[in-house]
Amino acid sequence: MRVTDAFRAAFGGDPRTVWHAPGRVNLIGEHTDYNDGFVLPFAVPWGVTAAVSPRDDSTIRLLSLQSPGDPVVISSHEESRGWTRYVVGVLATLGDRVRGADIAIDGDIPAGAGLSSSAALEVAVASALDDLYDLGMTPMERALLSQRAENDFVGMPCGIMDQAASALSAEGHALFLDCRSLGSRNIPLDLAAHGLSILIIDTRVHHEHAGGEYAKRRAECESAARKLGVAALRDVTDLAGALEQLQGDERKRTMHIVTENHRVEALVGLLRAGAITEIGALLNASHLSLRDQYEVSSPELDLAVEASLRGGARGARMTGGGFGGSAIALVADDRLESVKESVNSAYAERAWQPPRFLPATPASGARRLS
Ligand code: GLA
- The pLDDT score that the predictor gives to residue 209 is 73
Probe residue for ligand 1, chosen from 122, 162, 182 as the CB with the greatest number of ligand atoms within 8 Å: 162
Q: Which atom of ligand 1 is nearest to the CA of 160?
A: 9
Active-site annotation holds for 162? yes
Contacts of 211 by beta carbon, 8 Å cutoff, 6+ apart: 156
299-310 and 336-349 helices, crossing angle to 10°: 140
pLDDT recorded at residue 208? 74
Nearest CA to ligand 1 atom 11: 321
- Cβ-based neighbours of 208, under 8 Å, separated by 6 or more: none
Whole-number pLDDT of residue 348:
98
Return the closest-CA partner of residue 87 out of 50, 58, 43, 121.
121
Pick the atom of ligand 1 nearest to 159's CA: 9
Helix axes 248-272, 210-228, angle to 10 degrees: 90
Q: What is the model's pLDDT at position 259?
A: 98
State the CB neighbour count (10 A cutoff) for residue 184: 19
* Angle (deg, nearest 10), helices 280-292 and 299-310: 150
Q: Whose CA is nearest to atom 9 of ligand 1?
A: 159
Report the pLDDT value the prediction gives residue 121, as an integer from 0 to 100.
Answer: 98
The residue type of 138 is T
CB atoms within 10 A of CB 111: 12
How would you label 78-105 residue by residue, b for 16+ Cβ within 10 Å and e otherwise? eebeebbbbbbbbbbbbeeebebbbbbb
Residues 74, 264: Cα–Cα separation, whole Å: 43
Q: For a pocket test of ligand 1, which of 35, 122, 161, 221 has the largest count of ligand atoms closer than 8 A to its C-beta?
A: 161
Q: What is the mean pLDDT of each run of 10 residues along the chain (370 residues)?
A: 97 97 98 98 98 96 93 88 95 96 97 94 98 98 98 96 98 98 97 97 87 95 98 98 98 98 98 97 99 98 98 98 96 98 98 97 97
pLDDT tens per residue, range 137-151: 999 999 999 999 999
Q: Which atom of ligand 1 is nearest to the CA of 33?
A: 10
Model pLDDT for residues 305-355, shown as the tens digit of each residue: 999 999 999 999 999 999 999 999 999 999 999 999 999 999 999 999 999
Decide: 366 and 142 in contact? Cβ < 8 Å: yes
Burial per residue of 227-249, b for 16 or more beta-carbon CB atoms within 10 angstroms, e otherwise: ebeeebbbbbeeeeebbeebeeb
| pLDDT the model gives residue 78 | 84
Check if the beta carbon of residue 119 is closer than 8 Å to that of residue 150.
yes
Distance 158 CA to ligand 1 centre (A): 6
